[in-house]
């Protein structure tokens, strides 16, 4: 065997080539940090599930103490400790699961897309064998696959842990408060964030400005989701003989009085010294009502919102592709017209 052959056989061959290898090379530090954070969060969630349930079993608190006169002072103290140690940690990880997808959009808009356009390094790739669309696909292929896989795992493990604790022992973990943290919704948020960041980066072409615009648009999207989420599927209208008192497991969208002459009176309030019927009559209403989502609406709402967000992400991605094609063709058309004039 020759020295050249031996030396050649010792050289490791990377499976990543071309633009994909270049993207990995540029952002590998960020990728390793993200992977480390994912491992820490998933490990913490697994620990929370088993350590939290062991604590509940050791102290006999699986049914909680809310409204239970049989719970003594020691039980209340143990429950308070459980909520402070395990419940707060679960909520903090859920908060990260909720908002980290939008940080991805910020990264895509700035360092991944706008910086390339601002510095002009994209011209080298376009002048070689890579077309503009292939350049964009290579820039986003690794991040998109990694982000979707990572958030799918994180959301699945968080949902698995969250569902295992009874609502009586973790009251703040009612499903309406954890909606953005569980199920397929965080994954859909990540997909939308990637599409939004890509379009903003292509439009603005300035790193800092693109990140600022993405932050503003992300805040707008989060606000819109909070406002319109209760209506992705129709809430249930329920009537009550007295002031509405829905179960804790229900997501109450609206409550108040209703009557043929006055319509809905939201958040109807009267002094406690008059009866419920007198309160209705005083305001021209005839019934008490509450519009709510029972717990059975959780997964239909999750999948409805996921479908809407994926649809919006597809539209934004199509807009980004059109914009890239338009911009890549414009210089060629200008150069051709100049040559014809000469």
pLDDT in tens, 100-113: 999 988 888 777 78
pLDDT for residue 130 = 60
pLDDT digits (tens, 9 = 90+) for 47-74: 999 999 998 888 887 766 655 555 655 5
Q: pLDDT exceeding 70 applies to what percent of the chain?
A: 80
Dist. CA 320–CA 314, nearest whole Å: 10
Question: What are the strands, taking DSSP E only, across the chain?
Answer: 236-240, 251-259, 263-266, 287-293
Q: Is the pLDDT of residue 339 over 60?
A: no
Q: Which of 184, 187, 191, 223 is nearest to 302 (CA)?
A: 184
Q: In this model, does residue 294 exceed pLDDT 90?
A: yes
Which of the four pLDDT bands, split at 50, 70 and 90, describes residue 139? confident
Q: Where are the beta strands (DSSP E) in 173-301?
A: 236-240, 251-259, 263-266, 287-293
At 211, list the tokens.
């990140």
Ranking 25-34, 41-50, 143-152, 296-305 by mean pLDDT, the lowest is 25-34
Average pLDDT of the chain, as a whole number = 82
User: Structure pTM?
Assistant: 0.81
pLDDT at 7 exceeding the cut of 50? no
Nearest Cα to Cα of residue 135 among 143, 144, 123? 123
pLDDT recorded at residue 190: 93
């Amino acid at each position: 065997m020759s020295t050249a052959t031996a030396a050649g056989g010792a050289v490791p061959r990377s499976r990543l080539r071309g633009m994909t290898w270049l993207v990995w090379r540029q952002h590998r530090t960020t990728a390793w940090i993200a992977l480390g954070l994912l491992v820490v969060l998933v490990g913490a969630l697994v620990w929370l599930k088993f350590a939290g349930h062991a604590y509940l079993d050791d102290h006999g608190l699986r049914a909680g103490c809310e409204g239970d006169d049989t719970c003594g002072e020691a039980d209340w103290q143990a429950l308070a400790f459980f909520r402070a140690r395990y419940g707060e940690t679960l909520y903090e990880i859920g908060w990260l699961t909720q908002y980290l997808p939008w940080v991805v959009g910020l990264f895509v808009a700035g360092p991944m897309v706008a910086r390339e356009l601002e510095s002009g390094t994209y011209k080298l790739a376009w002048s070689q064998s890579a077309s503009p669309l292939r350049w964009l696909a290579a820039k986003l292929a690794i991040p998109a696959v990694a982000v979707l896989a990572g958030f799918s795992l994180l959301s699945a493990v968080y949902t698995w842990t969250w569902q295992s604790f009874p609502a009586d022992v973790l009251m703040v973990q009612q499903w309406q408060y954890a909606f953005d943290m569980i199920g397929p919704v965080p994954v859909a948020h990540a997909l939308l964030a990637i599409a939004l960041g890509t379009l903003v980066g292509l439009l603005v072409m300035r790193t800092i400005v693109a990140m600022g615009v993405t932050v503003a648009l992300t805040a707008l999207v989060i606000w819109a989701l909070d406002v319109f989420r209760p209506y992705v599927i129709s809430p249930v209208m329920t009537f009550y003989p007295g002031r509405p008192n829905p179960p804790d497991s229900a997501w109450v969208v609206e409550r108040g009085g209703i009557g043929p002459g006055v319509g809905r009176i939201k958040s109807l309030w009267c002094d406690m010294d008059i009866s419920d019927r007198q309160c209705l009559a005083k305001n021209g209403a005839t019934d008490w009502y509450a519009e709510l989502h029972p717990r059975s609406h959780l997964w239909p709402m999750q999948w409805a919102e996921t479908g809407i967000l994926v649809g919006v992400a597809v539209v934004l991605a199509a807009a980004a592709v059109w914009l890239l094609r338009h911009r890549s063709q414009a210089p060629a058309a200008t150069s051709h017209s100049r040559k014809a004039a000469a």
